[in-house]
Amino acid sequence: MTKYISAIIRSARPIQWIKNSFVFAGLVFSQEFFNLQKVKLSLEAFTVFCLLASGIYIFNDIVDLPRDRLHPTKRFRPLPAGEIPVWFAAIFSAAFIIIGLVWGFHINTNLGIIGAVYIGLQILYSLFLKNLVIVDILVVASGFLLRAAAGTVVLNVVISSWLLLCTSLLALFLVTAKRRQELARIKDNNSPFTRKVLTKYSVRFLDELLNIEVAATITSYSLYVFAPETAQRFGTPYMWLSLPFVLYGLFRYLYLVKVAGKGESPEKIVVTDVPFIINLLLWVACVIIIIYFV
């Protein structure tokens, strides 16, 4: 049983919980970062999405089991590797999702609704939408936006539409980069297509999407930090000082994707690429100092 539990924990993919940090955007930009009650609510929302996401990861592994067995890295996951039976994984998938939804509705009705929408979209994605070109990217990216929205409703605050737009564009960029690297790896190694939708893409097309998304993200964030309403909201005109960190972060990630051949696992970049990590921490520190102390 201990072996099974260990396999379930790995199937829940704790490293992917980094994506749920989008929940904390509402806490920081609502100027509630030092409000312990608000911090507690944000941490609970983060945990809810960890449960929901883990349930979906396991569900997706069950659905993709035949294809994952052909994948060069996914075949080592507990389910494709045969470390746990499908019925055992299905029980935990359902348990994570149910507990996450019940907890979400207990905290805040709107949080529960967002969690239910997230689960519904992800199930549709696993069963059907992941095979639709472009739609697959939009659906995965929507998960990041829902996380950011969850972080606002749990605090009963309203975040700038510009900031939500930036979140959406950044999410599109990350998902497109992941697709691009999956396809590039397959073509470079003459590997079998383990994701059906990739047969409908080309590296050149995805590169064009990446360029558009980077430009749009930079434009949106620039408009946000220079907007008079942003200065009025935070009581400081210096939010533009955070822009260089955003520029470097996007360019660094683009470099890692197109030159270093990384990007298929965004969560690994966030915890392994030292320049990216330092830049991210500096951006967070810069934003907090500007919003709370300037």
The rounded distance, in Å, linking the Cα atoms of 146 and 159 is 13
Over the stretch 87-128, which tens digit does the pLDDT of each residue have? 999 999 999 999 999 999 999 999 999 999 999 999 999 999
Q: What Cα–Cα distance (Å) separates residue 62 from each residue in 29, 69, 140, 166?
A: 38, 11, 18, 33
158: amino acid identity, one letter = V
Ranges 3-12, 238-247, 263-272: which has the least confidence: 263-272
The rounded distance, in Å, linking the Cα atoms of 1 and 33 is 41
Confidence of residue 194 (pLDDT cuts 50, 70, 90): low
Helix H or strand E segment including 198: none
Q: What is the CA radius of gyration of the chain?
A: 19
pLDDT of residue 198: 86
Residue 209 sits at φ, ψ, to 5 deg, of -60, -45
pLDDT of residue 110: 94
Over the stretch 261-291, which tens digit does the pLDDT of each residue have? 776 777 788 888 999 999 999 999 999 999 9
Over the stretch 199-208, which tens digit does the pLDDT of each residue have? 899 999 999 9
56 vs 272, more confident: 56
Res 30 pLDDT > 90 = no
Q: Between vectors from CA 182 to CA 176 and to CA 186, what angle results, nearest 5°? A: 145
Burial 29-67 (b: 16+ CB within 10 A, else e): bbebbeeeebeebbebbbbbbbbbbbbbbbbbbbebeeb
Query: If we measure between CA atoms, which residue out of 82, 101, 100, 72 comes closest to residue 182?
Result: 72
Query: If we measure between CA atoms, which residue out of 274, 119, 132 comes closest to residue 201?
Result: 132
Confidence of residue 190 (pLDDT cuts 50, 70, 90): low
- How many CB atoms lie under 10 A from the CB of residue 83? 18
